[in-house]
Amino acid sequence: MVGTDSLQVYPRFTLGYYPLEGGIETVPVLIGAFGIPQIIQVLKEKQLTPKATKLDKIIPSWKSLGSKLPHIVRSALIGVGIGSVPGIGEDIAAWVSYGTAKGTSKEPELYGTGCEEGIIATEVANNACIGGAMIPLLSMGIPGSPPAAMLLGALLLHGVSPGPMLQIDRPGFITEIAAILLLASFAMWFCGIFLAPKVVKILQVPSALFMPVVGILCIIGSYALGLKIFNLYLMIPMGIITYYLVKYGFPVPPLVIGVILGQMADANLRRGLMVSEGSLKPFFTRPVALILLLVIVATFVTNTTLYKNFKAKRKAKKA
């Protein structure tokens, strides 16, 4: 919530420092949160020998796919659901799906080590979110993610106006988009299977040799956004803070979700309170808001230590 308020144009938490009036940019924070800690960790370990020397089977067996089907379906539903909400995007879908899979897993300690369930949760939700983002784009003309926004611009350049009249003006266009997405999925699968044996050879190069390149790309990526040196002042301290947060066991996904959705949540909450004249009743009288609140409460309760201990004791009694 740092920066100029989008509703009343009032500076908040800027401390009189002009660069903060534009708010905290998402990209430098994300680059710092994911790039800098990795650089510090690799250079600290001084890993000079390659970790991977051999690539095993790439295509999973039908038996393996069948056993992971519940994870695939759940992650796909999460991706489509989050994608259908305008402005959230694929990153949030991947993190939410990963957190859900880890929270419901019998072996959560395996997550973060390359287990199949974690990979399925993130990648299926990430891909399904693209299809979900097409729902608000084609029905209302509102892009649900950055790629959807780019697609909207491309459609407008070709004289296609997404919205309620799309099915009347261009019958069958939605079906064509669905077919294109299906073909794109097959093309992505083919490229992935074909390139995996080649790309995995990069893992045979010691990680420490990549870190200077990663550091330069982090600096260029942060500075290129608006060509502001302030982004570097933001990225490096955020990276150092995140490194210590991870070191002491704090998860990074809540930080990422907060940075991405914080301003959106703040603006829409205050806009809703202005419409309701400060009343919180719509949270409990509107069906969608009430359902979301119940989901939040259920998620919070089922992930508390008290609930997990109760579940473990109940399972022990049955045994």
Model-wide pTM > 0.75: no
Query: Does residue 247 surpass a pLDDT of 80?
Result: yes
Residue 3, H or E segment: strand 3-4
Higher pLDDT, 94 or 314: 94
Domain locations in the chain? 51-203
Grade residue 53 by pLDDT with cuts at 50, 70 and 90.
low
Q: How far apart are CA 127 and CA 94, in angstroms?
A: 9
pLDDT classification of 174: cutoffs 50, 70, 90: confident
Give the per-residue SS3 of the chain: CCEECCCCCCEECCCCCHHHHHCCCHHHHHHHHHHHHHHHHHHHHCCCCCCCCCCCCCCCCHHHHHHCHHHHHHHHHHHHHHHCCCCCCHHHHHHHHHHHHHHHCCCHHHCCCCCHHHHHHHHHHHHHHHHHHHHHHHHHCCCCCHHHHHHHHHHHHCCCCCCCCHHHHCCCHHHHHHHHHHHHHHHHHHHHHHHHHHHHHHHHCCHHHHHHHHHHHHHHHHHHCCCCCHHHHHHHHHHHHHHHHHHCCCCCHHHHHHHHHHHHHHHHHHHHHHHCCCCCCHHHHCHHHHHHHHHHHHHHHHCCHHHHHHHHHHHHHHC
**pLDDT at residue number 307:** 65
- Mean pLDDT to the nearest integer, 26-41: 83
Which has the minimum average pLDDT: 41-50, 216-225, 236-245, 292-301? 41-50
- 206, pLDDT greater than 60: yes
Query: 164 pLDDT band (50/70/90 cuts)?
Result: confident
The answer to whether residue 46 scores a pLDDT higher than 70 is no
Q: Provide, rounded to the nearest whole percent, the portion of the chain with pLDDT above 90.
A: 1
Q: What is the rounded average pLDDT of the residues 222-243? A: 83
Q: At 160, list the tokens.
A: 């296609």
